[in-house]
Structures are given as C-alpha cells and as structure tokens.
C-alpha cells in the first residue's frame, strides 16, 4: 500500500471515568487465589498494567462512539457533509444487527451518500478501517472518511472473575490462560482522514503493509457470538506466551516489507505507536525490530489493553502530549489475534486532538 493523497486530519479519544486497579481485581479473586495458593500482585507484575477503566453500566458502544466521532469532526473543523464513509471498527458493538455504524451515522448527522458499516478484526478493526477509508480517498471515491470504535471490558472481566472463583476444579494452568482477560480495558477512539487537498494539517499517511499468520488463530479465542450486545457474558481462552511469541515472529516477517515499501530504515523511524498489550510484549517487539524504547509511547500501564482502540487512542494521547513533533516519521505497529499484522507509516506535522467525556455519552444515551 502506498498513498499520495491521504492525510490524517484529526484524532479523538474518550476514556471512562471509573478506574479499576489490578490490586482491586486480585482482591475480588481471593477465593481462587487462596485455593490455588497464588501470591497477590502477580497481575501487575506480569503485565505492567496497574489499572484499567470501565464504562458505566448501560452505556452502549455506539453511544460513546458518537461522542468520540463528534470530537474528531470538531477538532478538525471539518464539514460533515464532505464525509463519504463511516467505519465502526471495534470488537464491541451495540447489536448483531443492524451495524453499530448505522446508529452512529444517524446521530452524527452524516449525509445520506456517506456509507456506514462495521468492520471486525479483533484488535486491528480500526486500523483496517483506516486502510479502507484511505483506499477510497486515494481512488477519488470520497473526500473524507471517519473511523471510530469503542471497547468495553466490564462484562469480560466480571464474567472471568466469577468463573475463576466458581469453578473449583480449575488448575494454575487454567488460571494462567484466563489472566490475559483481566488485562483488558475500555476506551474509544476516532480518526478522521481527508484528501490531501482538503487538509489543514498535512499529516500524510504514506502507506504500509499487512501480514496474516492465521495458522495461529486459536491462540486467543472467545465463545461464539459473544462479541455483541450489552448483556454478553464472554470468556476468553488465551495462550498468552505463545501468542506473544508468534505475534512478534509475524511482526518480524512484516517489518522488512514495511520498511521497503516506505523506503525507510529502522533508524529513520522517529516515533512508534504500538498495540498496547503489556510490558513483556512491548519489550519483545521493540527488541525484535531493533527500535528504541524512548521513541515509543505507551498507555497500557494505566489503560490496559483496550483492544482495537488501544493503538489509535495511544496515538491521540501521544500527539496531545507532544510526543509527536513536526516532520516525525511515525510507525503505527498493530498486531492482533488471528494472527494479523498491520503496519502503517506517516509523516506527522501537527496535532488536532478531540477528547470526549463519559458524561457526554450518558447525556446522549438518556436523551
């Protein structure tokens, strides 16, 4: 993939108000920990995740995505009647049918000629959305497109805790396969892409590469049809160590193609934004790709792994906090269960960042 006419005009994110620490989760797991004689503190020690956040019960992903998408449009001061595509890319969605994008499209007041649909690809859904919108802009089909999504970890973590405490036959190995679920957090993110001729920022999306290592699809898997609906009670089974190993291996295979596509060397990458899994994954990935940790920006310590929103929300926060500066060559390195890899490169210039609030989403939901 190579783009000549695509710019990232704005980024936006929304975070929940409720902060839940790893210590609090482990306190709730006391029955399981005592039964298996596990020491407290292992969750943060192993993952580097001190906290994650929960949305208020009853909020739907679409309610929050409307707020985040609105903030992206406001930050760019971009006319919504020029938006030609809306992609909702998170694992979490309102209903199996219709597409969550349909409700978000309506409440954002986007034009009838703006296509609206959902994309699902584990932790890479929003990055896939970026590619699809960028392709349409490059082909001249649309002037601009909005990619948005919202992940909600409350149901997964609540169900996991109840399961681990209830099932007295579980072993330490069973506990280990469930621990990754306790690292999941909640967040919302949006990206507005526009044709270069309409851009006020000049943040050029240059291109990138994708790689599929789907022989490892079973390493992280939830139950069937449990990704949708506010009443879900999901459980996930994750071989975290093997997923880390195979994910980094897939990234190593993709990275040389990514550099070749953009004409970069690893040393010419000024900043990196990676998918936010935890400290072990970050260390292994950066070392494998020979990338400097000081050029990377992380949020997993306080937000956990927020799925498809992890990389774009971290990207927005990195820009907001001045980690990205003019003329930086930025690598967006996404690895998701499946296993799929998406690596995108861009030339950064200036930040236009929108930030929503949970109170806005609550007001919208009760209106």
Domains of the chain, residue spans: 6-199+354-366, 204-350
Evaluate if residue 300 carries a pLDDT over 90: yes
Average pLDDT over residues 187-192: 98
Cis peptide before 98 (omega within 30 of 0): yes
pLDDT score of 34: 95
Region 6-199+354-366: CATH code: 3.40.47.10
Evaluate if residue 230 carries a pLDDT over 60: no
Are the C-beta atoms of 248 and 285 separated by less than 8 Å? yes
pLDDT score of 228: 45
Catalytic residue among 92, 123, 210, 254: 123
Backbone angles phi, psi at 209, to 5 degrees: -145, 160
pLDDT score of 223: 60
Q: Is there a shared CATH topology between the 6-199+354-366 domain and the 204-350 domain?
A: yes
Evaluate if residue 226 carries a pLDDT over 60: no
pTM for the full predicted model: 0.95
Superfamily of domain 204-350 in CATH is: Thiolase/Chalcone synthase (3.40.47.10)
Q: Is 92 a catalytic residue?
A: no
Q: Across the chain, what does the average pLDDT equal? A: 94
The residue behind tokens 């997993």 is: 300
d(CA 151, CA 149): 7
What sign has the CA pseudo-torsion 8, 100, 90, 13?
positive
Distance, C-alpha 96 to centroid of its chain: 20
Q: Is 123 a catalytic residue?
A: yes
d(CA 132, CA 72): 18
């Amino acid at each position: 993939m190579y783009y000549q006419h695509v710019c990232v005009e704005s980024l936006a994110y929304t975070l929940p108000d409720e902060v839940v620490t790893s210590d609090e989760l482990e306190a709730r797991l006391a029955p399981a920990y005592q039964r298996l004689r596990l020491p407290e503190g292992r969750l943060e020690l192993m993952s580097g995740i001190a906290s994650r956040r929960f949305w208020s019960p009853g909020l739907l992903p679409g309610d929050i995505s409307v707020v985040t998408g609105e903030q992206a449009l406001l930050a760019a001061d971009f006319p919504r009647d020029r938006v030609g595509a809306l992609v909702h890319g998170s694992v979490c969605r309102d209903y199996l049918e219709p597409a969550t994008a349909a409700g978000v499209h309506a409440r954002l007041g986007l034009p009838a000629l703006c296509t609206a649909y959902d994309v699902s690809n584990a932790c890479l859904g929003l990055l896939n959305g970026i590619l699809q919108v960028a392709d349409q802009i490059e082909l001249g089909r649309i002037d601009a497109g909005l990619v948005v999504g919202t992940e909600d970890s409350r149901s997964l973590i609540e169900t996991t805790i109840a399961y681990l405490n209830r099932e007295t036959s579980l072993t330490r190995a069973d506990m280990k396969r469930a621990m990754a679920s306790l690292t999941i957090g909640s967040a919302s993110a949006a990206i507005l892409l526009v044709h270069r001729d309409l851009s006020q920022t000049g943040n050029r999306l240059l291109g990138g590469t994708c790689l599929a290592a789907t022989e490892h699809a079973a390493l992280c898997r939830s139950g069937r049809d449990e990704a949708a609906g506010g009443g879900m009670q999901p459980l996930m089974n994750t071989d975290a160590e093997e997923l880390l190993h195979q994910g980094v291996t897939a990234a190593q295979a993709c990275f040389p193609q990514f550099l070749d596509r953009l004409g970069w060397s690893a040393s010419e990458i000024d900043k990196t934004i990676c998918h936010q899994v935890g400290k072990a994954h970050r260390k292994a990935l950066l070392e494998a790709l020979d990338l400097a940790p000081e050029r990377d920006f992380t949020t997993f310590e306080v937000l956990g792994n927020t799925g498809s929103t992890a990389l774009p929300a971290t990207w927005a926060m990195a820009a907001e906090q001045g980690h990205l500066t003019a003329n930086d060559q930025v690598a967006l390195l996404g690895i998701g269960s499946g296993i799929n890899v998406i690596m995108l490169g861009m030339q950064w210039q200036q930040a236009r960042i929108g930030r929503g609030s949970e109170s806005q989403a609550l007001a919208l939901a009760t209106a």
